[in-house]
Amino acid sequence: MTAYEVADGALRVDSGLLTRRRRAVPRVQQVDLRRGLRHRLFGLWQVTVDAAGGSGGEVTLILSNAETARFRAALVPGATTAPVDADGDADGDEPATGSGTSPVLVRLRPGQLAVAGVTGAKQLVMLAVLGSGLQLLDDVPTGVRDAVAGRLPSGTWWLVVAAVLALPAWCALAALAQLATDLGFTLTSDGSVLQVRRGFPTERVASLALDRVQAVRVSQALVRRPLGMVAVQVAAAGSGRSADAQVSRLTVPILLIGDVDRLVEAVLPGAAPLPALTAAPPAARRRQVLRRVVPAAVVAGAATVLLWPWGLVAVVLVPPAFILGELAFRGLGHARTPTHLVARRGALGQRTVVVPVARTQSARVRQSLLQRRAGLATLSLDAAGRGNQVLATDLPVEEALELAAEAATAAAARGDERVRRRRRG
């Protein structure tokens, strides 16, 4: 038997039949919704409530469709109730603007999600599935394996045909995996709360307060460059421990590069349009190249000595390492606006990070031995939440120190303003 009460944004839950337990969540940070097929059959949602600062952990409730809409509206006033109507239906036709609903920032069609699966990380998921399938072959009886092998055509031509046929099947499975995760992906915002709805057959609805956003990461894999597409991740301060509670990050799996500025501006006002980046100084080229060529040369030298003369083949590793170093140098860039820091890095795939400097928790400047000789440094801005670290690599040391000081000053000013607000409140 479970009962709950919501008052002034706080939650109290009483549960148990013989032994009664009471849990109080004075500061609610996150309310996430999830429903699988069994929940759909009975008109229910699984509601997960996460406490701010981890003070109360997580509370999970099973509520009806109508009760879920009221419950979530009471705890997250800025979240639209459009995905969870009183009748339990998902309203996917909310207008882009207008009262009663939140503006739609991103809505992905099934075709876009299929492209995301084929060009994104779902390919690695399929690789793991293939590895598991190959391990199962060890459990097949030897007689069965010999019988199957005896029926296969002679020669190697059929292996080539199988490989050609396996490629589209591989891509199709990756696309299906992405569709199962993100079908119906819709991202909305009312100016204070981001809300994402996605997935089938398991549907998830999650919200994220914009004032907790710590960084926006724009990633572009090599295969997506000709398509002009990227993936965008919004990283926020969070304390949730559930894998389903998207309290620390929200990812748009694929987005046209021309739509990035619109999304960044909605998440971090004042950050868009993203500024032109300043290239790394020439001294950074030598460091980026050496970081890749030296290990390749060491491996090639060791292979040559230990496996002479066949070890000479390892020398072919050096030219690609040099090319990767050059690409990594060209991928470096950074820019500073009055309110944000933008940094980019990467060789084949590139990642651009946008962070509001006033929300950083600490700033660090460090130099390796080679960086000291070249007059370079790496700037790290640490934000709240796990993994929210922003790196600007191979900056001139004077500029790195200046940016770190500016970030510390902006963060201190924001902290003082929050203290004044609390005293006034």
Q: In whole angstroms, what is the distance from residue 350 CA to residue 346 CA?
A: 4
My answer on whether omega of the bond before 201 falls inside 30° of 0, hence cis, is: yes
My answer on whether omega of the bond before 309 falls inside 30° of 0, hence cis, is: yes
pLDDT-derived band at 64, boundaries 50, 70, 90? confident
Q: Residue 377: is its pLDDT beyond 90?
A: yes
Q: In whole angstroms, what is the distance from residue 406 CA to residue 165 CA?
A: 56
Res 127: pLDDT: 61
pLDDT-derived band at 144, boundaries 50, 70, 90? low
Give the other-Cβ count within 10 Å of 117's Cβ: 27
Q: Residue 98: is its pLDDT beyond 50?
A: no
- Write the CA distances from 384 to 197, 239, 355, 387, integer angstroms: 25, 10, 12, 9
pLDDT-derived band at 140, boundaries 50, 70, 90? low
Q: In whole angstroms, what is the distance from residue 113 CA to residue 184 CA?
A: 9
Q: In whole angstroms, what is the distance from residue 278 CA to residue 342 CA?
A: 10
Q: What is the mean pLDDT of residues 170-192?
A: 89
pLDDT-derived band at 149, boundaries 50, 70, 90? low
Res 239: pLDDT: 46
Percent of the chain with pLDDT over 90: 32
Res 370: pLDDT: 85
Q: In whole angstroms, what is the distance from residue 223 CA to residue 126 CA?
A: 17
Question: Across the chain, what does the average pLDDT equal?
Answer: 80
Q: What is the mean pLDDT of residues 404-418?
A: 78
Q: Residue 80: is its pLDDT beyond 70?
A: no
* Least reliable range by pLDDT among 216-230, 335-349, 410-424: 410-424
Where do the domains of the chain lie? Answer: 2-94+101-108+184-267, 111-181, 278-424
Q: What is the mean pLDDT of residues 237-241?
A: 52
CB 378 within 8 A of CB 280: no
CB 41 within 8 A of CB 24: no
Q: What is the mean pLDDT of residues 255-264?
A: 94
Q: What is the mean pLDDT of residues 231-258?
A: 72
The residue type of 202 is T
Q: What is the mean pLDDT of residues 236-249?
A: 51
Res 248: pLDDT: 63
Q: Convert 207-240 to b/e letters by CB count within 10 Å (16 or more is b).
A: bbbbebbbbbbbbbbeebeeeebbbbbbbbbbbb
Tens digits of residue pLDDT in 70-79: 887 777 665 5
Res 320: pLDDT: 95
Res 156: pLDDT: 62
Res 6: pLDDT: 80
* Least reliable range by pLDDT among 78-87, 167-176, 294-303: 78-87
Percent of the chain with pLDDT over 70: 74
